[in-house]
Amino acid sequence: MQNQVLKTSIAGKILIIIGIVLICVSCDHEKITSHTYEIDPYTNRFNWSFASKPYNIDLPKGNINYFMSQDFYKIDVYDDSLLASNEENDKVGLLRSRLSPSPIAIPGFIYNSWSGLMQYLDEPINMSEVDYIECQILGNADVFPVVPVTMHIDIGRINEDFYRQGVSTVADMEDGLVTQDGILDGEEDVGLDRIENGQPGDDPDDDYSNDEIMVNGFEEYPEINGTERNNRLDTEDLNYNGMLDLTNSYIHYVFDLDSDEYLHTINSKGLRTYRIPVDIYEIVMDSNINPDLQNLEYLRIWFEYQEETYVILISLKFEDIENRSNSTEIIKP
């Protein structure tokens, strides 16, 4: 009997601990906040970093604020005929990016800005197994301004120097402020500038916060991409090989989000599905190293635009027409 009571007590404590963990998880807006909300691996913010400057472009850099939006439901994205009645109010995880142009202003001169995101792919892409790239973008002219946006996709070897381009050939990283051991030590989470908030030389824009603000009735998180006090070990060394890789050798795709070119379908909610033939790429190189089309390790998406707007990414993947079960999803969970 005593053993039974002891087992019951231990089980009760375990349930309490599990409950506390679940409560803590729900505190982060980018984790599951209801039984209907699922994080789509295509839109997982944690896979992305800010993009390095694309090679051989001459555009001023704008700003991108990207976050996993929770204020859209399936009924806002997909055709009603495809949804069961109990699915309509299920939340949809979206990677929503607010694009702001460069603050550089020249009276009477209209210019494009660029900004974007990139990541290292744990499983390299083999282009010989792919027929087209499929990209789904949600448009909502009733809420977001209709601004021409050109989307670029780069895949291959990509310069990792995204934080302070050209300042150093060594990767900016937080690890090593205490001990370089791959572990976030207590005094290391000060941002890629390696300077604590309030100290001389601190980057004023690197503070992290997941505080929500409302803009036109929709949520935004203006400091969600900060690297200081974000409880992550931030680094430019995206492939963790101990160095800052500076080579550019990649294939490049480009298409306009307000064009019908490569537009496969558009539904009643403004969900635009683009299918880009895999063989229309351009090769971009800054050396004599050709892209290895069977081993493409980095992905960068970036945008050209003139005015402030939003891009809402639903999915991005490589597709094999003959064997869709073997298609490669290019954003990892």
Same domain flag for 127 and 253:
yes
Q: Determine contact, residues 189/174, Cβ cutoff 8 Å.
A: yes
The string of pLDDT tens digits covering residues 146-158 is 789 999 999 999 9
Tokens of 283: 């090769």
Q: What is the CA radius of gyration of the chain?
A: 22
Which DSSP category does 268 fall into? T
Same domain for 42 and 94, yes or no, is yes
Q: Is residue 40 part of a domain?
A: yes
Place of tokens 């229309």: 280
Is there a contact between 183 and 189 (Cβ–Cβ < 8 Å)? no
DSSP 8-state symbol, 46? G
In a domain, 112, yes or no: yes
Q: What confidence category does residue 17 fall into, taking pLDDT thresholds of 50, 70 and 90?
A: very low
Q: Is residue 226 situated within a structural domain?
A: no
pLDDT of residue 70: 82
On whether both 11 and 46 belong to a single domain, the answer is no
Higher pLDDT, 126 or 42: 126
Span 238-273, pLDDT tens digits = 999 999 999 999 999 999 998 999 999 999 999 999
* 20 and 71 housed in the same domain: no
pLDDT, average across residues 68-81: 90
Q: Are residues 150 and 250 in the same domain?
A: yes
Shared-domain flag, residues 144 and 262: yes
Residue 273 domain flag: yes
- Cα angle: 157, vertex 311, 211; to 5 degrees: 100
Interval 214-227 mean pLDDT:
92
Q: Specify the pLDDT at position 181.
A: 93
pLDDT higher than threshold 50 for residue 171 = yes
Res 243: pLDDT: 96
130 lies in the same domain as 85: yes
7 and 147 assigned to the same domain = no
* Residue appearing with tokens 């990209």: 135
| Range(s) of the domain holding residue 18 | 1-31
